[in-house]
Amino acid sequence: MSSNFRRGNQNRVAPKSQGREFPSQTLVSGHSQRDFRFIPSTSTVATSFDEGPKRSHVPVNRGVPTSSSKGAFGDREKDSAASSFTAGQADQSSASSVEDYDAPVDKARGKHRFKSYQLDGKYDQPWVSDPRMNRTRWNNWILRAFMFIGVALSAYICFSATQTVGKHSYCLVYQDDFKTLDTNVWTHEVQIDGFGNGCFDWTTTDSKNSYVDATGLHIVPTLTNETTTLTNEQILNGGKLNLTKSAGDGTCTGTELRSCAIASNSTTGRMLPPVRSARLTTKGKKSIRYGKVEVVAKMPRGDWIWPAIWMMPVDSKYGVWPRSGEIDIVESRGNDVDYSPGGRDVLTSTLHWGPTTIKDAFWRTTAGKNLRRDDFTNKFHTYGMEWTEDYIYTYLDSQLVQVLFTGFKGQNLWDLGKFATAEENKTLLANPWPSKSLNAPFDQDFYLILNVAVGGINGWFPDGIDAKPWLNAADSPQRDFYKGVDTWLPTWGEGDKRGMTVRSVKMWQQGACS
């Protein structure tokens, strides 16, 4: 509110506030009857009402609505009439408004000053001399002592655990970075019968299925009718495939006729393998008994593609599979990540062992690892295995990321598998591992295998999941699989993305190099 009071005009009615309307008031000794407060403006207050800058008075309404047309004591007209001053009253009111209201305004606008309630001077602290305070001190020291003992004990346990891990020396016996394919070490295994798993691919020596470039070794599956002269009609009926040495091209490495020759017949449901792929091994060239293996590889993409990095015994001294064992360092599936048994974001490590095929106890020694927000087809990973007389364990990228661990201390695998009371055809089983070694059959030389299979009837792809186009026990599962080619082929990656790419292989033998 802005006002200029002049002497000789004491009865002048105060004008209305500029900008905001406030209820009028009657001033008594510098205070309004309605408890209004005048807040001075930032301009200097003149000591004379005739000269000097004007002083702005802004009333602060304490809880009284400013929108009301009436004041607390009546209409505005009545309030205005009651606000007349005499000359002396005006002087006293103006002076009083300056003197009485400057301090409250400064206090309201200033910072709040903290007022301490701490006692001044010395005062008694009787609790300090209370003997119970000593108990608290002792309790604190006891707590600290136990904390120290706990930390020390934990450190000792961790240190002791590290000492139980065997410290072995290893000698690098083979390393391949695949600048070229070393045929002095790597051999193609060629068969058409699926290698006991009933896979639907025919492994070949064709450079379309296995080749080396700047990225590494590629093992790539292809359709038979795309990479050979065989037509779809011949694949399904009337076609022949002979890989024997006597009457065929001599590329077959199998020992049985069914592994090397086949003829398609639509009546019996027998057909030629619809897919071709490759399988390379170090058999007869490089093998280890106890040591380490590391393979840097990128997995394939596509439904029903089955990549594997694994090891088999050189001599199978305990008998046919699985008596002599099998070490699967890594197996995977090319299916999408939402495939419930595990797609291309999941890997599995397994040991196969047992007195018979039916009694294969692999389920006791299998474990998996999955990636989050990624899969094994996008970049290279290191798949490793460490093998001693006391244990076998596999790992991913680092020995700290363990996948499978199987220890051989304390009992042999015959006891671990509980085969002593097992029967087959109502006959008790014989122990195929008479060796005193607790880790038999994993106490002999094993060689390395790299392959990419497609499909199969051994259960790696379970029935009735994710619209699987064939049943494992069907009369012609391979034919049913091939009928769904328009569904699964579009899921296969382009070019070598549908295959496994191997950047490097390293094999160490346990012990110092001679």
Tens digit of pLDDT for each residue in 60-103?
444 444 444 444 444 444 444 444 444 444 444 444 444 444 44
pLDDT in tens, 151-207: 999 999 988 877 666 678 999 999 999 999 999 999 999 999 999 999 999 999 999
pLDDT of residue 161: 72
Catalytic residue among 21, 233, 256, 326: 326
Three-class secondary structure of residue 284 per DSSP: coil
pLDDT of residue 247: 82
How many alpha carbons lie under 13 Å from residue 61 in its C-beta half-sphere?
A: 16
Residue 279 near residue 189 (C-beta atoms within 8 A):
yes
User: What length is written for the chain?
Assistant: 514
Model confidence at 33, in pLDDT bands (50, 70, 90)? very low
Residue 268: is its pLDDT beyond 70?
yes
Runs of H (alpha helix) within 69-217: 76-81, 87-109, 132-164
C-alpha closest to that of 393 among 60, 165, 71: 165
343 or 54: which carries more pLDDT confidence? 343
DSSP 8-state class, residue 226:
H
d(CA 106, CA 507): 86
Model confidence at 111, in pLDDT bands (50, 70, 90)? low
Catalytic residue among 189, 294, 331, 386: 331
Residue 10: is its pLDDT beyond 90?
no
Element (H, E) at 294: strand 291-298
Q: Is 256 part of the annotated catalytic residue set?
A: no
Q: Is 326 part of the annotated catalytic residue set?
A: yes
Q: Is the dihedral of CA 333, 351, 427, 420 positive or negative?
A: negative
d(CA 467, CA 462): 11
* Phi (first) and psi of residue 94, to 5 degrees: -65, -45
pLDDT of residue 164: 63
Residue type, 21: E
